[in-house]
Structure 1
Amino acid sequence: MRKALTLLGTGLAAALALTACGGGNNASAPSAAATLDPANPTTVTVGATPTPQAKILEFVDQKLAKEAGIDLEIKEFDDYQTPNIALSDGSLDANYFQHLPFLEDQMKTKGYKFEHGAPIHIEPYAGFSAKHKKISEIPDGATIAITNDPGNQPRALKLLESAGLLKDIKDDSSALTLSDEQNPKKLKFEENQPEILLPLVKDPKIDMAIINGNYILDAGLNTDDALVVESVKDSPYGNFLVWRAGEETPAIAKLEELLHSPEVKAYIEKTWPNGDVTPAF
């Protein structure tokens, strides 16, 4: 495995995202008809967020890939824009960091032409607070730090709904357009990019911050300490492998197969026994 760390800043990533091109989607997995040669493995360059995606890929690379005839080159990204830019421009063969609502929004707004495999794992969203110890302590007019990306914001709002703080949240609901009926506690929202929400947990102006699962893990936090945790039952937010449309290479097909192997499922369950990462297959 050859592992590289991508240090492209969030601001530049967002700027580049405006120029990325493509369009369309297809949820079918590629064919693995051709034979891969373990003696001459095919390199597959995959972009991923560090935890848990890159760790799962490292396990595959160390334990399963060689005998399957592939060699993974894992590139880590610390934001949610650059991996799709890199996949679109050919810098990556595939990426592994996103769920279907986020991918669909990216393809719609940026024109990417991507396909994806089956869900591999789910990381539950969770709300953390340095000011309150119970969700029932969140007062009327509280300020909630929330992601600004439309692929994840409704998910965060639904988490608040599950906690009894909001009502009647739709798949396209926005924090800034909630009605008084939807927001009876008159919550205020501070929108920000998901990768910089974590420090807001300790901001004295913030009552609670809704954090993405991979950033929870990167920070060494535990959902056992959260005020509210998303249910993973029947979740539409399983993360999967994504590749450019029409590039049905045997190596990508093999990686898709390995990521759904019993070995990977056992690795996830052993590494995150509290359910902070849950197999989706």
Structure 2
Amino acid sequence: MKKYSVLTVILAFVLILTACGQSSGNSEKNQTLTVGASAVPHAEILKKAVPLLKKKGIDLKVKVFQDYVLPNKALASKQLDANYFQHIPYLDLYNKQHNTDLVNAGKIHIEPFGIYSKKYTDVSKIKDGATVQISNNKSEQGRILLLLQSKGLVKIKTGVDPVSATLKDIDNIKHLKFLQPIDPAILPKAYEHSAADLYAINTNYALQAKLDPKEDALILEGASSPYANIIAVRKGDQNKKAIKELVNVLHSKTIQDFITKKYKGAVLPVSE
């Protein structure tokens, strides 16, 4: 009996050591962080961050989206840990319209928004009644109007917050004709056909279409824009260590230098 008791104790001890070893092994495994992103420049920037996060014990998985709606749906339904494609005015509008509670975990970059034209190379030559094609993204209307206002083409009415301004909130100085809004993803293709005089195109879609905002845009937003692109997460997750590490890496000199060198001013890094 004594012999069996000793064997039992030894066997139990071995099992405990094995369990401890397995627990230790699991704790050393890298944490997986799945982030949804637009193809350009967001996914490109994230892929550059993969090896940097690997060193911090985080396996970054990037899921590419081609629109502005599905990434937030996927985040809200916990298919993603974070997403990276939008600015705060868009996020605020999405939360309001869909009763979600997604939050900003950190500003990463600005994509200076552009107004493009195949018919005009000089803003001063734009004729009265010129046509303007904008997207159906309502959160961008104020941004577009600010650009047009910067060149004296419209004036946002006194007392209206420019960020939330709509087409109803302007004095239309040049009597611009705003065409039926279309999906932002197809604006570059519409621009190629050039049915309108002016096209307001998001920089990520402009870059995908091989447009160079600094060279091709008739009017280009400056670096002081309030429309910085952010890492968005579910409320409370902004305090998670992996999310903070992600934001810190995207603010690192390595990533900021990459953004500056690759996009040559079409995308501007933000370090706050």
Normalization by structure 1: what TM-score? 0.81
Q: Which has the higher helix share?
A: 2
1:253-272 aligned within 5 A: 253-272=244-263
What residue is the counterpart of 2:185 in the other structure? Answer: 195
CA apart distance, 1:195? 1.1
Report the secondary structure of 2:55's partner residue.
helix
CA apart distance, 1:38? 9.8
Contact 1:149/1:193 (8 A) holds in 2 = yes
- Tell me, which stretches of 5 or more residues in structure 1 are unaligned? 1-36
Q: Cα deviation per residue 1:215-244 (whole Å; 9 max; x = unaligned)? A: 1111111121211101112x2111111111
Task: From the superposition, tell whether residues 202 and 220 of structure 1 become closer, same or farther in structure 2 (CA, over 3 Å).
Answer: closer
Q: Which moved more, 1:224-233 or 1:85-94?
A: 224-233
Q: Which moved more, 1:243-252 or 1:262-271?
A: 243-252
Aligned: 1:171 with 2:168: no
What residue is the counterpart of 1:77 in the other structure? Answer: 65
What residue is the counterpart of 1:277 in the other structure? Answer: 267
Contact 1:142/1:187 (8 A) holds in 2 = yes
Report the secondary structure of 2:35's partner residue.
strand
What residue is the counterpart of 1:86 in the other structure? Answer: 74
What residue is the counterpart of 2:149 in the other structure? Answer: 161
Aligned counterpart in structure 2 of residue 107 of structure 1, from 73, 95, 99: 95
What residue is the counterpart of 1:207 in the other structure? Answer: 197
CA apart distance, 1:204? 4.2
**Aligned residues: percent identity?**
40
What residue is the counterpart of 1:56 in the other structure? Answer: 45
CA apart distance, 1:178? 4.4
Aligned: 1:120 with 2:108: yes
Task: From the superposition, tell whether residues 237 and 131 of structure 1 become closer, same or farther in structure 2 (CA, over 3 Å).
Answer: same
Task: From the superposition, tell whether residues 204 and 249 of structure 1 become closer, same or farther in structure 2 (CA, over 3 Å).
Answer: closer
What residue is the counterpart of 1:19 in the other structure? Answer: none
Distance in structure 1 (CA, Å) of the matches to 2:164 and 2:234: 26
What residue is the counterpart of 1:245 in the other structure? Answer: 235
- What is the CA RMSD across the aligned residues, in angstroms? 1.6
Report the secondary structure of 1:57's partner residue.
helix
Distance in structure 2 (CA, Å) of the matches to 1:156 and 1:254: 34
Aligned: 1:134 with 2:126: no
Aligned counterpart in structure 2 of residue 44 of structure 1, from 14, 27, 33: 33
Q: Cα deviation per residue 1:225-281 (whole Å; 9 max; x = unaligned)? A: 211101112x211111111112343222211211111111111111122x1000112
Distance in structure 2 (CA, Å) of the matches to 1:100 and 1:185: 30
- Tell me, which stretches of 5 or more residues in structure 2 are unaligned? 1-25
What residue is the counterpart of 1:184 in the other structure? Answer: 173
Distance in structure 2 (CA, Å) of the matches to 1:40 and 1:221: 42
Distance in structure 2 (CA, Å) of the matches to 1:203 and 1:136: 23
Distance in structure 2 (CA, Å) of the matches to 1:48 and 1:91: 13
Q: Cα deviation per residue 1:158-189 (whole Å; 9 max; x = unaligned)? A: 111112211125332222x245xx10211111
Contact 1:38/1:69 (8 A) holds in 2 = no
What residue is the counterpart of 1:15 in the other structure? Answer: none
CA apart distance, 1:115? 1.9
Distance in structure 2 (CA, Å) of the matches to 1:86 and 1:131: 40
Distance in structure 2 (CA, Å) of the matches to 1:162 and 1:147: 19
**4+ residue runs over 3 A deviation:** none
